[in-house]
């Protein structure tokens, strides 16, 4: 079936969660990278744990709780004003450098975001970065009160856009998300920003693995779950050609 809608994950796909390091390092000099990596790992884990426990809290609450965990783990003081300023960065995350041009190149397609983000923080982020002029639909999992990769989350695409799963190209750089979308029946393009050979070389260069390398090892390599993506691309730039090939195929 031809692709009728292109649906993007937000965090890690259109927006770089690691860009919070600009504020974490300023707030806690020397700890910025460590905070950023542990925070993101726990943030994702909390979405899965709360989904499994059926004890939903929205993504804003989870983001706050995982930051508290991180500061406590590292023995860093929690100062309310600093804590608030760090959380605020999630409303101003940096888009990946190619994101605006890639979306511009997809003009004419029905473009949407499906994200774990809570509606307020997600809508502000999209507006603050100007993506509201390019994205037609911003869909939060919040109404379902469960996080990706639950099938209930991906079902929102059909509900909101009126398309069948086979008519959707879902784009994510998060392996768990790519697997979840594929298991649901969506066409999937995974953005492989950290090829495995680059990971091998990074580990060879030192007998101590830096926090960012460890994060990439456990969160940015394709998982062995039996649901491989349909396409692997190295950045958002390849999407226009990919969709053209889908139309011709």
Residues marked active site are found at 9
Which residues contact residue 74 at a Cβ distance below 8 angstroms, ignoring those fewer than 6 apart? 28, 31, 34, 35, 38
User: Phi/psi of residue 210, each to 5°?
Assistant: -65, 155
DSSP state of 85: H
Instruction: Kindly state the helix (H) or strand (E) to which residue 5 belongs, with its residue range.
Output: strand 5-8
Detail the DSSP E strand segments found in 80-239. Answer: 94-95, 110-115, 137-140, 168-172, 187-191, 231-233
d(CA 150, CA 144): 10
d(CA 71, CA 85): 14
CB half-sphere exposure, 83, CA atoms < 13 A: 15
């Amino acid at each position: 079936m031809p692709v009728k809608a292109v649906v993007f994950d937000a965090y890690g796909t259109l927006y770089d969660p690691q860009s919070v390091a600009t504020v974490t390092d300023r707030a806690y000099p020397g700890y910025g990278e460590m905070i950023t990596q542990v925070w993101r790992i726990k943030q994702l884990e909390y979405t899965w744990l709360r989904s499994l426990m059926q004890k939903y809290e929205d993504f804003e609450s989870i983001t706050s709780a995982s930051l508290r965990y991180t500061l406590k783990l590292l023995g860093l003081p929690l100062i309310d004003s600093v804590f608030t300023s760090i959380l605020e960065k999630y409303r101003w995350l940096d888009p990946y450098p190619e994101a605006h041009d890639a979306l511009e190149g997809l003009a004419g397609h029905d473009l949407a975001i499906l994200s774990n983000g809570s509606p307020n923080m997600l809508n502000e982020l999209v507006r603050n970065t100007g993506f509201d002029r390019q994205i037609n639909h911003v869909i939060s999992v919040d109404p379902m009160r469960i996080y990706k990769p639950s099938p209930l989350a991906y079902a929102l695409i059909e509900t909101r856009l009126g398309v069948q799963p086979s008519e959707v190209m879902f784009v994510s750089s998060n392996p768990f998300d790519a697997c979840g979308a594929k298991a649901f029946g969506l066409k999937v393009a995974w953005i492989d920003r950290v090829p495995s050979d680059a990971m091998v070389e990074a580990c060879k260069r030192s007998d101590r693995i830096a926090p960012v390398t460890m994060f990439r090892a456990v969160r940015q390599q394709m998982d062995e779950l039996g649901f491989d993506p349909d396409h692997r691309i190295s950045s958002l730039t390849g999407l226009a050609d990919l969709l053209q090939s889908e139309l011709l195929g």
